[in-house]
Structure 1
Amino acid sequence: MQRYAIGVEYDGRAFNGWQIQPDRPTVQEALERAVARMAGHPLRVHAAGRTDAGVHATGQVCHFDSDAKRPLNAWVRGVNSFLPEGVAVTWSRAVPEHFHARFVATARHYRYLVLNHPVRPALLAGRIGWAHQELDVPAMRAAAELLLGEHDFSSFRAAECQAPSPVKLMRAIRIRQDGQLLCFDFSASAFLHHMVRNIMGALLHIGKGNQPAEWMSELLSWQDRSLAPPTFMPDGLYLSGVSYPPEFELPSEPAPRYGLL
C-alpha cells in the first residue's frame, strides 16, 4: 500500500463545503469518487483542512492510500478526467506512511480578496468579497499587527467550532492594495472554524471607521464572539497553501496560478 499526497483547487460555489454530507455535493465526495475510479477500489481522501460552503481553494493538500500501480501523472490528469469542472488535482507525490495531510502540517495559509468599490462585482460574483464603503487600509494594517503571535482567538471562533483549543499562533497577516482590489493574506499554525471570516469582519469594521485600530486588542482580550462584528461573506476566501516539514518535499506554498490567486 502506497500513500499519495495531492494538491487540489476548487470553486467553493459548486459544493457544500469540503466534508461529505448526506444528499449534498461536497469536495471530498467528488474527489473520493474520482480517485477511487482511477485506483479501481474504494478509498478515503483526507484533507489538510475543512473549508465551508462557498469557500474556495488554490492550495488544498490531501492524501490517500492505494495499492494500485499507477504513474504519478495518473493521479493528476487521470483523476481530473473523472472530476466535475469545479475541482481539479494540480500535483501528486508519493509520500511515506507517516505523512498525514492534516496532522503533520506546520501552517495553513488563507487569502481573502475584496473589491472596494461602490458597485457590486458581476463577473467575479461569488469569487471575491465586496465592500462598498471606502476602507482605511493603514488602519486595517495597524489592527492586523495586533493579532500576530499566539493568542486565544475565541472572539473569532464560530459557536460550532470543534477545535480542542482556541489558542493559535498567527504568524503573518499581509494586506496589499492594487487600485480597488484588496488582498488579505493570513498564515497561522491552524485556524478555528470561521476564524478568517470573523477576523475579516473585524478588520472591515475598523476599515470603515467604526472603531480605531487599537480596538482589535480589546476584542481579542474579551474572548467573546458575541461582542465581535458579524462574520464576513465566504465569497472571496481561498485556502491558498499548506506548509509541511521539508522531509516530505511537497510544493506546500505553490506559486499563484491566476495572478493574485
Structure 2
Amino acid sequence: MIYALATTSAIMFALATALQHRSAQKADHSKAMRPSLLFFLALDPMWLLGLGADIVGIFFQFAALVKGSVLVVQAILAIGLVFSLFFSALLHNIRLKYSELVLSGLTALALVGFLIFGTPAQLIDKSALSSWFILALATGVVTVALWMFARNSSPFRRTSVLGISAGILHGFTVSLSKVVSQNFVALGVYHLIIDPHTWILVVMGAADILVIQSAFQAGPLGISLPIISVVEPFVAILISVIVLHESLSMSVFGRVIAGLCLAVMLLGVWGLARVSTEDTLV
C-alpha cells in the first residue's frame, strides 16, 4: 500500500510541476523574481490546476507517511523527476528524447541511492531558534546574490542559477517544515500559530515558491528541475547535520555508495542540461 500511495503522490507532484512550468513559460521575463509573477500565475487556470495536483500529491504523501517510513517515501518520490519530464513533453506537444529518458532515469535512481545512504535516520530538533533566523537570513542573502548574478546572463545560465537558488530554498523549507510539524504534534495548534518557526517558514516558503516559478519561467524543465532535485536533498542533509546536529552514521560502504550516487546525479544533471539546450536555448 505504501508503494502505491507514494507512487501516486510522485505522479501528482510531477503533473503539478509540468503544469506550473507550462504556465510560467507564458509570463513575461520582466516578472521574474517579482511578486507580480505569482499574481500572473494565480490567474492562469493551468497553474491553478497544477496547484490542485500539488494538494492531491500532499494528501497521498501524508497517507504514505502514515503507513511507512519517511526514507522509503522520499526515495519513491525521487522518481517524480522522470514523470515530470514526460508530462512536460506531453504539454509542449513534443517527443521526449531517448537520451532525456535515460539520463532522467539514472539521475532519479542515483537520487534514490543518495537518499537511502546519505540521509540521517531520524530528525530531532536540537537547534536554537536563533540558528534558524541566521540560516534564513543567510539563505536570503545567497538567493539575492544568485539572482543578481543571473538576471542579465544567458537563458541557460539564468535557468541553471535559479534552479540552484530554488534548490537551496526548498532544502531550507523542507528541513524547517519537519521541525514545525514536530512542534505541532507535540504542542498543538495554538503553539503552531505563535511559534516563530512557523512564521519563518511562511516567509521562506513564499520566497521558495517565487524562486521555483522564476526558474520554471527562465527555461526548459530539463535544466531547472534536475538541479532543484539534486540541490534540495543535499542542502537538507547539510542543515540536518550542521543545524540540527544529526549524525549520518554511515559505514565506509555507505559513504562510497553515497559518493558514487552524488557523482552520477551531477553527471545526469549536466547531461540533461546539455540535451535540453540543443533545441531550445541559444
TM-score normalised by the chain length of structure 1:
0.28
Relative to its length, the structure with more strand (as a share) is 1
TM-score normalised by the chain length of structure 2:
0.26
- Which structure has the higher relative contact order (CA within 8 Å, separation 6+)? 2
